Structure 1
Amino acid sequence: MLIFDRNMIFRINEEDKKNVLMFLAEKLEKKGYVKHSYINAILKRESKYPTGIQAGKLGVAIPHTDAEHVIKNGITVGILEKPVQFQRIDNPDVAINVNFIIMLALKQAHGQIDVLQNITNFIVQEKVIQNILNDNNLDHVYNIISKNL
């Protein structure tokens, strides 16, 4: 079961990908979802296997790493005030501007496929993602994400 806590949604005003990833990973660690090793593992994995996805006009990233760094299933969401460049998952030579990040902490490796499929089905709803980016009320954002995941 994937745990999504309302307090794990953040508006982030940062232009550096590494800092954004570290910020979200640290939030997962502070809430007890991941081990301290998760932070370096997420950075290392993103450099080898990028997670940027062009979803229509929007850029989304779904960073995740190996289950050995996870204590319990959860996600954190970053809504970026300024786009941050991520390499594309399907073409790492191409960078895209990302405004929306769903960082995953999954304890069972075999569960990643189902969760990633649900998230993919969610992020291709360009209008829904755009509404999230424009909504300053994080309770609304939580409700939209919860309903769609």
Structure 2
Amino acid sequence: MKLTEFFHKELIVTKLEAKSKEEVFEILYRKLLENGYVKESFLEGIINREKTFPTGLLLNGNNVAIPHTDAEHVLKPAIAVATLCRPVVFKNMANPEEDVQVNIVFMIALNESHSQVEMLQQLVELIQNKNFLKSILNAKGGEEIIDLIKMI
């Protein structure tokens, strides 16, 4: 499955004003839930997994988080995206003691755990592109972000 098939404009929030990662989780969860991608248990799954396995990534200025949880909480696969007006604090995936100021969140909802590795590899490739991250931070809406992903 191609990475672009996971992104849907109704699951993308640009220039979000959030004060915490929990607020970002809540907003993206609502989008996923309202559009039939996840079960009500998804939010609790994301919060619990983030405590044990933090998802903040230091990426040369435009730091990213990729929160996700178990397939049992997901109805159909998708990636919800939030670009933030101001960074929020996540714990570093590589060093859980360290804080990471994150300004782009890719919330992953997969209903098959074996597809997670392949999709994560594609996503990591995408987020290692500094120009792509800059471009999506400047994007005005979900359609524009999807177009940017298709160009990569």
Structure-1-length-normalised TM-score: 0.94
Which residue of the partner structure matches residue 115 of structure 2?
Answer: 111
CA distance in 1, matches of 2:37, 2:133: 25
Does the aligned pair in 2 maintain the 1:8–1:77 contact within 8 Å?
yes
Q: For each residue in 1:29-84, what CA deviation from the matched residue of structure 2 results, as whole angstroms up to 9, or x when unmatched?
A: 11110000001110111111000011122210001000000001111100111100
User: CA separation of 1:33/1:90 partners in 2, compared to 1, >3 Å: closer, same or farther?
Assistant: same
Bigger RCO of structures 1 and 2 (CA < 8 A, at least 6 apart): 2
Corresponding position of 1:97: 101
Q: Distance in 1 between matches of 2:19 and 2:103?
A: 10
Residue 68 (1) aligns with residue 78 (2): no
Quote the Cα distance in structure 2 between the aligned partners of 1:95 and 1:132.
23
Indicate the residue corresponding to 2:91 in structure 1: 87
Secondary structure of the 1:85 match is strand
Matched, 1:77 2:84: no
Answer yes or no: is 1:8 the counterpart of 2:11.
Answer: yes
Offset at 1:137? 4.4
- Indicate the RMSD between aligned Cα atoms, in angstroms: 1.3
Identical residues among aligned pairs (%): 36
Secondary structure of the structure 1 residue equivalent to 2:6: coil
Alignment check: 8 A CA contact 1:88 1:94 kept: yes
TM-score by length of 2: 0.92
Aligned pair partner of 2:53 in 40, 49, 54? 49
Give the letter aligned to residue 17 of structure 1.
K
Paired residues, number: 148
Residues 56-115 of structure 1: CA deviation (Å, up to 9, x unaligned) = 222100010000000011111001111001111111001111010111110110111111
| 3-state SS of paired residue (2:7) | coil
Give the structure 2 partner of residue 35 of structure 1.
39
CA distance in 1, matches of 2:114, 2:142: 31
Distance 2:32 2:142 in 1: 18
Structure 2 stretches lacking a partner, 5+ long: none
Structure 1 residue matching 2:10: 3-state secondary structure: helix
The gaps in structure 1 that reach 5 residues or longer are none
